[in-house]
Structure 1
Amino acid sequence: MAQVDYSLYLVTDSTMIPESSTFLKQVEAAIENGATLVQLREKSISTLDFVDRAKQVHELTKKKGIPLIINDRIDVALAIDAEGVHIGQDDMPATLARKLLGPNKILGVTCSTPEEVKVVVTESVADYVGLGTVYQTNTKKDVTDPEGTGPLGIRKMLRVLGDYNSTATRQIRSVAIGGINHSNADKVLTQCQVGSHKLDGVAIVSCIMAAEDAAKATRDLLHVIKNPPAWTRGVSHGTNNAVLRTKVIELAEEKPLVHHITNNVVKNFSANVTLAIGASPIMSELPEEFEEFASGIPNIALVLNLGTPSESLMKIFKHALQVYNKYGKHVVFDPVACGASKARLQCTKALLNAGQMSVIKGNLGEIMAIRKLSSTYTPPASSSNGGDMRGVDSIAKLTEPEILSLAYEVARDFQAVVVITGEMNYVVDAYGSSVRVKGGNRLMGYITGTGCSLGSTIAAFLAAKADGSGDGDFYIFDAVVGALEVYNSAGYDAAQHASTPGSFMTQFIDNLYEHTSTY
C-alpha cells in the first residue's frame, strides 16, 4: 500500500452545505485545493443513494489520486472499490472489518480513550486511528467527553500509540478530530505530540463543508497546517548563558507592558512590582480590548493567575489565552492552589487545554498537581491520606533530583518553561536545561502577593525579550532565569535592612527598583 497523506483529512457532512453551493461542489473544491484524503460520511440516506454518492465522490478523488474512505459501511466501500473504511467503537469489530476488506484496504478506527487505543494496537489490524473529540463540536453528539478531550486527552492516547509504534513493524497512524478549524489546527498539531511521536493530520468537517468559499477555506487551512503557530516563531530553546546585567539593560530599554488577569488580593502589589522594575501594568478583564492589546502592542505579555477562579472569570481566561496565542505573545500561568481541590485542578485542566503557556510557575504542590494532568502520569496503586497542598501552600516534600525530574516531566509534556518556587527555585525547560536560583528570604512568604508578582516580573522579561542574547532569536529560558535572579536578589537585599513583614515589603519594592534602574 502506498504511503497515505493524512495531513488534511476531510470528513463530509451533507447537512451543512451553504445555499450557494452543492455537496459535490464543496467536496470537489476541497479536493482541488489541498485535501489529502476524504471520508464520505452519510447517516440518513438509503443504501442505494449512498452508493450513488460514493461513486460520484470516488470519481473526484481518483482524478486527484487521493484515497476515499467510507464511514461505517463496508458494503458500500466494497461496492465501489473505495480505498478504505472508517469504523467507530459501536460498529463492526476491527478484526472482522479487516477480514472483509482484505489486507490492502485502509482501515481506520475511532478512539476516545487510551483504553480504546490499547485495544487497537493489540489487534494491530488498523492503519490509523481517529482521536477525539478534541474540542466540543455539533457534528458528534455521542461522545465520551462532551467538552472534548483537549490536547491533554489526545496526548494520553498518543503515548499509547507511540509506545506501540516504537517497536512495531506495522505502524498505526493518527489524526485528531473534533472542533478543529482555521483558528486551532496549528495548535492541535503542535500541542498534540508526545516526545517525537506526533499526529499525522487533522480531520476537518464544518470549516470546509459549511464554507461559502470551500476552495479558499481549504487553501487557508492547508497554510495553517503547514506552518508553526505564532508563539513558536523566533523562539530558541536551551540557554545562551547571557549575563544578568545584559538582560536588565534590555528590560529597561524596552519598557514592556504586562497584562494581568489576576486575583483581587494581589492586584495592587503586582502593579507596584511591575512599575518598580520599569514595566507598565495593565489590569483588564474586558474581553473586547484583548485583541487590540495583543495585536497592537509589540512588547506585551499576559499573566493568568488562578487565585480566585469563577465561572465568568474562566471564560475571560480562555478568551485572553487564545487571543495572546493567536498573536504569538507570551503567557505566564500561575495555577494558584491547583492541588488544593478537584475544582481548581479542573480549572487548570481547562486552561491548559484551551491554549499554550510559555511559562508555568508554581510551588512544589502546584506543579505536582499539574503532573497529574500529563500524559506520563500513572496514579499510584495506593494513596496516602495527606495531600500535597494546604490551601495555597505546598506541604510536599521531594529531594532535589525528584524535583528536577518532576519539573522536566511537566515541561516536556506541556512544552513550557516550568518554574518551581520555594527556598530554592528551579527553572527547567522541555529540552533539558535547568537552573537553581536561591530564594530571596523567608519574609517573602509573609507578604500576600510575592509569589503572584514573581509572575509579573517573569512576564515583563518575556515581553521585553530580555534574554541577553542581543540577536534575532529569543531564549525564553534565559529570560525567565533573569527574572528570578532579579526578584530573589531584591528579596535577599531587602532582608538585610528589614526584619518584619511590613518594613520588608516597602524595602523589597525599593530594592526591585534599584536592581533594575542602575544600568
Structure 2
Amino acid sequence: MEMKFETAMLRSYFIAGTQDIKDERPLEEVLKQALEAGITAFQYREKGPTSLTGSQKLELGQRLKVLCADYQIPFIVDDDVDLAIKTRADGIHVGQKDERVTSVIDQVGNQMFVGLSCDTPDQIQVANQIAGISYIGSGPVFPTGSKADADPVIGVDGLAQLVKVSKLPVVAIGGITEDNITELPKTGVAGTSVISMIAQSDDIFRTVKTMNQTFSD
C-alpha cells in the first residue's frame, strides 16, 4: 500500500544520516524521539566522508523505514533510486546536481512520490512543467553548516519569490533555527525541512513542537 503525498507532510520534515548525529546516540534513537515528538516526514540522507555505504547503509535504511511506518510517517530517501526501491521508501528527493528528476520519475513510477530541490525561479519554472513531482525543496534560506556543498543563501525574500512562481508546495531548507523559523510562514511555504535543528537539539520535543506550531493550520 503506497503512501500518497500530502502537503501537510512538509510541516516538520526531518533530514538526517549517521553523519549528522554529533554524539554517541544511534540515528534510530534520534529518529524515534523525533517521531514521538511529531515530525511529519523523514528523509534518510547518508552523505559525507563518515557516512555508511553498501549493506550497512541499506540495513539501517530498512530499520528506519520500519520505524517511520510504525508512526505512519513517510520515509523518504535522498537521491538513491536503488536504495529507495530496496527499502520500499514512500518518497525520494532529488537535487539539481543529482540524477535528472525525469529519469528518477521514470524509474520509481507510481511506487513513491518525488521531491526536487529548486533554488532559482528558472529551476521552478522547469519543475512546473514536469508531471510526477510532488513538492519542491528550496533554500538555503539562511547560512547553514550542515552541508559542505550548500548553494548561496536565498534569504526569506528569495524564498517568497520562489513560492510565488511554484505550482507545487514548497518546503524551506537551510540554516533554520527555533529563532528564525517564525520568519517563514509569511513566505507561503508549507513547512520546514531541517537537519541540525533536530539532530543537535537539546530538547527534540520542544524543537518539533515549535516547528508544528509555527505551521499549524
TM-score, normalising length: structure 2: 0.90
- Aligned 1:147-226 pairs, distance under 5 A: 148-161=153-166, 165=167, 172-190=168-186, 192=187, 198-226=188-216
1:221 deviates by: 3.3
- Distance in 2 (CA, whole Å) between partners of 1:127 and 1:96 is 15
Question: Alpha-carbon deviations, 1:244-289, whole Å to 9, x = none?
Answer: xxxxxxxxxxxxxxxxxxxxxxxxxxxxxxxxxxxxxxxxxxxxxx
- Aligned 1:311-390 pairs, distance under 5 A: none
- Distance in 1 (CA, whole Å) between partners of 2:109 and 2:172 is 25
CA contact (8 A) 2:76 2:90 kept: yes
1:82 deviates by: 0.6
CA contact (8 A) 1:189 1:202 kept: no
Task: Provide closer, same or farther for how the CA distance between residues 175 and 82 of structure 1 changes in structure 2, counting only shifts above 3 A.
Answer: same
CA contact (8 A) 1:176 1:199 kept: yes
- Distance in 2 (CA, whole Å) between partners of 1:152 and 1:2 is 27
- Distance in 2 (CA, whole Å) between partners of 1:181 and 1:199 is 16
- Distance in 2 (CA, whole Å) between partners of 1:90 and 1:79 is 23
Structure-2 residue corresponding to 1:311: none
What is the one-letter code of the residue matched to 2:12?
Answer: L
CA contact (8 A) 1:6 1:37 kept: yes
- Aligned 1:27-426 pairs, distance under 5 A: 27-43=31-47, 44-145=51-152, 148-161=153-166, 165=167, 172-190=168-186, 192=187, 198-226=188-216
Alignment partner of 1:39: what SS?
strand
1:17 deviates by: 2.1
Alignment partner of 1:226: what SS?
coil
CA contact (8 A) 2:169 2:189 kept: yes
1:18 deviates by: 4.5
CA contact (8 A) 1:128 1:175 kept: yes
1:28 deviates by: 0.7
Structure-2 residue corresponding to 1:3: 6
TM-score, normalising length: structure 1: 0.39
- Distance in 2 (CA, whole Å) between partners of 1:85 and 1:110 is 11
CA contact (8 A) 2:18 2:52 kept: no
The higher relative CO (CA closer than 8 Å, separation ≥ 6) is in 2
Q: Whose helix fraction is larger, Structure 1's or Structure 2's?
A: 1
- Distance in 2 (CA, whole Å) between partners of 1:104 and 1:222 is 28
CA contact (8 A) 2:18 2:46 kept: yes
Higher CA-based Rg: 1
Would you say 1:25 and 2:29 are equivalent positions? Answer: yes
CA contact (8 A) 2:101 2:116 kept: yes
1:80 deviates by: 1.3
1:21 deviates by: 2.8
- Distance in 2 (CA, whole Å) between partners of 1:201 and 1:94 is 22
Structure-2 residue corresponding to 1:394: none
What is the one-letter code of the residue matched to 2:26?
Answer: T
Task: Provide closer, same or farther for how the CA distance between residues 57 and 77 of structure 1 changes in structure 2, counting only shifts above 3 A.
Answer: same
What is the one-letter code of the residue matched to 1:202?
Answer: T
RMSD over aligned CA atoms reads: 1.8
- Distance in 2 (CA, whole Å) between partners of 1:74 and 1:47 is 14
1:206 deviates by: 0.6
- Distance in 1 (CA, whole Å) between partners of 2:213 and 2:169 is 22
- Distance in 2 (CA, whole Å) between partners of 1:226 and 1:20 is 33
Question: Alpha-carbon deviations, 1:125-147, whole Å to 9, x = none?
Answer: 211110111011011232331xx
Alignment partner of 2:97: what SS?
coil
Aligned length: 210
- Distance in 1 (CA, whole Å) between partners of 2:103 and 2:38 is 33
Query: How much identity, in percent, do the aligned residues show?
Result: 25
CA contact (8 A) 2:121 2:165 kept: yes
CA contact (8 A) 1:83 1:106 kept: yes
Task: Provide closer, same or farther for how the CA distance between residues 2 and 86 of structure 1 changes in structure 2, counting only shifts above 3 A.
Answer: closer
1:20 deviates by: 5.7
Alignment partner of 2:141: what SS?
coil
CA contact (8 A) 1:9 1:204 kept: yes
Q: Where does structure 2 lack aligned partners over 5 or more consecutive residues?
A: none
